[in-house]
Amino acid sequence: MGKTEIDRRRALKDLSLRMPLRPIVRFFYMYFILGGWLDGRAGFTWCVLQAFYEYLILLKVWELRQAIAPEKAEAVTEEPASTLYK
């Protein structure tokens, strides 16, 4: 393969950021596959909190992308003042 562990982890992180319904997938993974249901109410609460944390991450990434997009659009559409008043 030739890839380092860091490259593999970065690729998996990039893939997980693009995965649809990531918070729901996280909940089902933790609750059913990792056995959160065995801990009863505490396990359910922990899995819900982890899913909510994933949702907050998605919101933050969206917010950062929205903040960058208008700056790029401004830079492209701005013209020198001398050309605006001819």
Q: Is residue 46 part of a domain?
A: yes
Q: Is residue 38 part of a domain?
A: yes
Q: Of the ranges 5-9, 39-43, 79-83, which one carries the lowest mean pLDDT score?
A: 79-83
Amino acid at 12: L
Q: Is residue 8 part of a domain?
A: no
What is the total count of domains within the chain?
1
Q: Is residue 28 part of a domain?
A: yes
Confidence (pTM): 0.66
Largest Cα–Cα distance in the chain?
A: 74
Q: Are 23 and 54 in contact (CB under 8 A)?
A: yes
Burial zone of 27 (CB within 10 Å; 0-12 exposed, 13-18 middle, 19+ buried): buried
Q: Is residue 85 part of a domain?
A: no
Per-residue confidence (pLDDT) for residue 14, from 0 to 100: 82
Burial zone of 42 (CB within 10 Å; 0-12 exposed, 13-18 middle, 19+ buried): exposed
Q: Summarize pLDDT for 13-66 with one digit per residue, the tens.
A: 888 778 889 999 999 999 999 999 999 999 999 999 999 999 999 999 889 989
Per-residue confidence (pLDDT) for residue 18, from 0 to 100: 82
Q: Is residue 3 part of a domain?
A: no
H/E element, 78: none
Among 22, 41, 44, smallest CA distance to 31 is for 44
